[in-house]
Amino acid sequence: MLLRKTPLSKKLSSEEVDAKLKDVLLVLKYVSNKDVFMRYHKAHLTRRLILGTSADSEKEENMVEGLREVGMPADFVNKLARMFQDIKVSEDLNTQFKEAREDRSSELANIKILNAGAWSRRSDRIPVSLPAILEDLIPDVEEFYKSKHHGRMLNWNHLMSNGVMTFKTEVGSYDIEVTTFQMSVLHIWNSRPTESISFESLRLATQLPDTELRKTLWSLVANPKLKRQVLLCEPKLSSPKEFQESSMLAVNHQFAVMKAGKPQKRGRVNLIGRLQLSTDKSREEDNEGITQLRILRTQEAIVKILKMRKRINNAQLQTELVEILKNLFLPQKKLIKQQIEWLIENKYMKRDDDDINTFIYIT
């Protein structure tokens, strides 16, 4: 709310925003599950950088340095810093690309070259059939990029892409901000604006996986912020799960931006809303990743303590373990016990023959 363009961030002065961000960092010092915070902060930062909704880029970067100062893991902070670097490099690359190509299609494009390790997972890449004007631009972008960076390869992540379309109805003309998936769906009606098209035909035309198509269509037929929806569906549905292969969808030619209950002839609408810039699968991977990272960090910390102490009792081990891991998460006793047993089983340590609560490092 403070770093994104919102009524709150616009209402507060720069000094007030800085003060509140300092309070956030102060609270973060005492948050036990910092790894969970890291996941959500990165997800929201990704949204702001991709969609260009940051209220102040300098404050964004200052926040990253603040995270470093409160002891957030260096690898996490470095990835955030890399994200800002990628955005700045992409701005320069866009300028060069548009200067090299003096045609309208390049003017319409805003390319972001992002480091996969800092931004996304391979499972975030979803196939989709793009409008021809975008599909034709891809080889030109790749050729231009390779001329600047020999030996590098681009992988296109359409899930993280978005754009603006002009939507003309019987009421007026509107600029609509859409995801690439929404764009792919809506573009199908360009050549047949008055036709009803089945769910199955849309699936074949867009090449979107079933889950993503349902989610995308639902955002166009049941957007909670719109009085008049972009698409109409027959029969009417109460959830995206109810789409059938035979469900028929059509453009709502009475669509309009409403203001004070009256339709406006012009306007701009954001259909992206709370767009998820990751798939269900990658979010599951994130959850699993947090669990696995906690296991590895606990194992590493136990071994580090034992290497230093050579011999240590259980109470002291747990105390020192919590001290080492406090900037990442608070290890639960069950997790500690499981990892001690794993390390014993794998010959990293052993119990004292005379005291089962004392552990000895195995060199």
pLDDT higher than 60, residue 275 = no
Q: Where are the domains of the chain?
A: 7-120, 161-270, 280-361
- pLDDT for res 286: 59
Whether 321 contacts 297, CB under 8 Å: no
* Six-digit token string for 139: 């080889």
Beta bridge partners of 191: none
What is the distance between the alpha carbons of residues 217 and 240, in angstroms, rounded to a whole number? 8
**Does residue 77 sit in helix, strand or coil?**
helix
Percent of the chain with pLDDT over 90: 45
What is the distance between the alpha carbons of residues 211 and 213, in angstroms, rounded to a whole number? 6
Distance between first and last Cα of the chain: 51
Cis, bond preceding 127 (omega within 30 deg of 0): no
Fold for the domain defined by 280-361: Arc Repressor Mutant, subunit A (1.10.10)
- pLDDT for res 328: 77
What is the distance between the alpha carbons of residues 283 and 134, in angstroms, rounded to a whole number? 28
Architecture in CATH for domain 161-270: 2-Layer Sandwich (3.30)
Among the listed ranges 132-141, 148-157, 283-292, which one has the minimum average pLDDT value? 283-292
CATH class of the 7-120 domain in this structure: mainly alpha
Between residues 283 and 28, the one the model is more confident about: 28
How does pLDDT run across 302-360, given as a tens digit for each residue? Answer: 999 999 999 999 999 999 998 888 877 888 889 999 999 999 999 999 999 889 899 99
- pLDDT for res 33: 76
Percent of the chain with pLDDT over 70: 93
- pLDDT for res 319: 92
DSSP string, 97-166: HHHH--SHHHHH-------HHHH--GGG----PPPHHHHTHHHHHHHHHHHHSTT------GGG-EEEEE
